[in-house]
Amino acid sequence: MTRRFRRPRLLPLTIAAMAALLLVKSAVLVRAAVPAAAGATAAAMPPPPTVRQGPTEPPPAPPATPAAASAPVACADPTMSDSERTLLLDLRHRRAELDARAATLSAREGVLSAAEKRLGARVAELTSLQKSLEGLETKRRARDDANWQGLVKLYETMKPRDAATIFNDLDKPVLLQVLDRMNERKAAPVLAAMQPERARQVTAELAEMRAKANRAPSVPAPAKPGG
């Protein structure tokens, strides 16, 4: 035959736990009341006759406050069982661990906050440097464009056939820069007067150069002068 284990009933266990808690509280109250009762009895008794002089006894020490004596009493309470002492020590250890973890988290938060501030300062510094570099690049391109504009105006004022004769033998990088800055209405007759093969090569390379400039995320080029 198989034995059936009875399930523990919750109500008797709850009553037993409440009784044990009441017993512990009663013991604490009795220990707190004993010094007060002893002091009241000593105050009510008449003083003894002073027949012989002897060394005076020091006055009794005042009873400790419950807040100051709660921890030692709870630790040195003779009525507490071993399991209760173990539980109390376990709770103290856990509280110490929680305090240590809280201190560690606080220190980590301080480190992260300091690192965040340093990172923010670094980002602000890099942003300022980027703006400064962009400003310098804009000024450089403006100076270069101003230098090129003098040469561009020179060829724009020439006759298309004369300019085409020079463009047929001009270095291609210089020719591309000049044609890129020339007004289209003035550059068209010059290209028409150039050698056909030379004009086709220059037109293809000029289109490729402008396409690369449009794809590159750089500072916008200065506006071209009107014709």
pLDDT per position as a tens digit, 17-31: 666 666 656 565 556
Full-model pTM: 0.38
Q: Residue 5: CB partners within 8 Å, gap ≥ 6?
A: none
Write the pLDDT tens digit of every residue in 104-163.
999 998 999 899 999 999 999 999 999 999 999 999 988 888 888 988 999 999 999 999
Provide mean pLDDT across the span 185-195. Answer: 93
Q: What is the rounded distance in angstroms from the CA atom of residue 209 to the CA atom of residue 216?
A: 11
Q: How large a percentage of the chain has pLDDT more than 70?
A: 60
* Phi, psi (degrees; rounded to nearest 5) at 207: -65, -40
Q: Residue 97 above 60 pLDDT?
A: yes
Question: Which is more confidently placed, 156 or 78?
Answer: 156
pLDDT at 73 (0 to 100): 42
